Amino acid sequence: MKAPCLSAVALVAVIFAGVAQAGAGPISTLYLTNGYGIVVVQGNTISSFPAAYGSPYELPIAVYGDVRTSGDQVNAQIGGQYTLGGTPTGTSYTLSSVIGSALDSTSDGTHNYLVDYGTGAVYQTARDFTNPVLLFAVSWKNVGITYDAANNSLWISGWGFSTIVADYSLGGTLLSSFSTGHSQNGALALDPADHTLWLVNGP
């Protein structure tokens, strides 16, 4: 299968306070969080809505028909559910203590997937972030994760030491990888409209 192309090395160059766009933006609407709020990007249009449950640690984020965040477990924070338009539903979520620190998440509509930044363990959870199941492990300091429905696989990006974005089967088999040329690859997302990968380049 053809690997997604990395259409913009910097979707957001400075974490969401000052947003910088590299060329044309994604076709589909993509959602990102830095813990303080949710940033919404489509094409060259960027908007946001505030975190309503556990700011400043309302992450990771998983989007599938709605937006769900789970509070950072290390800081004992909570996250919650929003409509795609940014309205909080009042349903809150907490991250299982089994997962030490996850900064990003993704969903296939049935499960969420997270990578533990501290250990590299990749987990599958229920949509409400409960019932974590260890799938496999990658190197520590991996941050971004996104589900690829075309391949039933997970793209995972390195941070701080690795320039690599890699595609893994749900069983942990490395399917492909490429280098971005920089080592701050976060907030990874896959646009299903054209099968391109988008990520944050920067702290």
Instruction: For residue 85, give every residue at least 6 positions away whose Cβ sits within 8 Å of its Cβ, in sequence order, or none.
Output: none
Give the three-state DSSP class for 182: coil
- Give the whole-angstrom CA distance, residue 200 versus residue 202: 6
Mean pLDDT for each consecutive 10-residue tract of the chain (203 residues)? 43 33 77 87 91 87 96 80 97 90 94 93 97 94 92 92 90 93 87 90 71
Q: Quick one: pLDDT at residue 74?
A: 67
Smallest CA-to-CA distance from 108 within 154, 39, 142 is with 154
Q: Which helix (H) or strand (E) holds 26?
A: none
Q: Are strands 142-148 and 45-50 parallel, antiparallel or unpaired?
A: unpaired
Please answer whether residues 72 and 97 qualify as being in contact, where contact means their C-beta atoms are separated by less than 8 angstroms.
Answer: no
Q: Quick one: pLDDT at residue 34?
A: 78
172: phi > 0 → left, psi -120 to 50 → alpha, else beta; which?
Answer: left
